[in-house]
Amino acid sequence: MPTRFSIITPSFRQLDWLKLCAASVGDQVGVEVEHIVQDAGTGPELEQWAKGRKGLALHVERDSGMYDAINRGLRRATGEILAHLNCDEQYLPGALASIADYFDRHPDVDVVYGNAVVVDTDGRYLCSRFALPPMEYHTWICTLSVFTAATFFRRRLIDEENLFFSDEWRAVGDAVWNLELLRRKIRVGLLGTTVATFTFTGDNLITAPGSVQEQVRLRESAPAWAQHLQPLWTLLHRLRRLGYGNYRPKPLSYAIFTQSSSLARQTFVVERPTFRWPKNG
C-alpha cells in the first residue's frame, strides 16, 4: 500500500497562492495524499474553488493564528506522515515519494528534513536553503536551520508524544516545536535533496514586524549565559554548513506552478546557485 500523507495548509485571503500550493500537492505520484486546508474565512470564492477538488478537504472556521489552524488540521489528519505547507510554498515533483522512501528505509527516524529553494513571485530563483539538524542553542538564540516546507514527521509525534505546535506564538512556533524535538531526543534525519519551494513575496509572515519581535522574545527566553555566547552558536552553525558543503551549491533545476502557468509546472534552470538570502529579505 502506498504511504498516506496528510498535508495541512493554513489559509486566509491567499487564494491565488493557495491554488498553486494545492496543485503541487495534487500532482504528487506514488503516494496517497489528503490535503487539509484550514481556512479562517477567506470567503465564497475560495469555497467555490475547493468544491470537488480531489484529495482536498476544506475546513472553514475561525482560529487564533497559523499554529492553531495547523493543530486543527493535525487533529483531523489520517495519514501516516504529516506536514504543513503554507499557501506561498510548493512541493517539487516526486517530493512526497522521496520522503516516503526515506521513512521506509529509516524506521527509527521520526522527523525528516529536506532542502528548499526560495523563489520570487514569478517563480524565479533567489537562493537555496539547505537543512541541517537543529542545534538547541542556535535554534533558541539565532535561527532555525531547517525550512518548515520541507519538514515531515510520523504521526506518532501527535498520537504518542502529543507534540502539537504552541499557539502562544504567531511566527516562530516552528522553532519552538523543533526545540521540543531536541529536548525529547526525537530522532531526525536529513533527506539531502530539494523537495520544496518558498515564495518570497515581500509580505511573508517571517519578515513582518511581529515576527521580528517574536524572534527577540524567543532569544531572550534563553539563559543569559547562552545569549552571551551567540557568536559561538553562529560560528558553530557556519562551520557545520561548511562541512556539509552548503556554501558551494551545485547547479540545479526545479519545476513549479506559477501565476502565469497555473495548470502546468514551469521549469527553471539555475546555473549559478547561491546560499545567500535575498538582500531585501
| Gap between the Cα atoms of 47 and 182, Å rounded | 39
* pLDDT-based confidence at residue 67 (cuts at 50, 70, 90): very high
Cell matching residue 266: 514551469
pLDDT in the model for residue 277: 83
pLDDT digits (tens, 9 = 90+) for 14-65: 999 999 999 999 999 999 999 999 999 999 999 999 998 889 999 999 998 9
pLDDT digits (tens, 9 = 90+) for 134-161: 999 999 999 999 999 999 999 999 999 9
| Gap between the Cα atoms of 164 and 178, Å rounded | 11
CB 10 within 8 A of CB 38: yes
Query: 27: closest CA among 80, 92, 78, 122?
Result: 92
Match 516552528 to its residue by C-alpha cell: 174
Q: Locate the domains of the chain by residue range.
A: 4-270
101-129: average pLDDT = 97
pLDDT in the model for residue 202: 75
pLDDT averaged over every residue in the chain: 94
**Rg of the chain (C-alpha set):** 18
* pLDDT-based confidence at residue 205 (cuts at 50, 70, 90): low
Higher pLDDT, 130 or 209: 130
231-256: average pLDDT = 96
* pLDDT-based confidence at residue 211 (cuts at 50, 70, 90): confident
pLDDT in the model for residue 209: 66
What is the CATH code of the structural domain delimited by 4-270?
3.90.550.10
pLDDT in the model for residue 201: 81
Cell matching residue 197: 519551494
| Gap between the Cα atoms of 101 and 192, Å rounded | 13
Q: Is the pLDDT of residue 281 over 60?
A: no
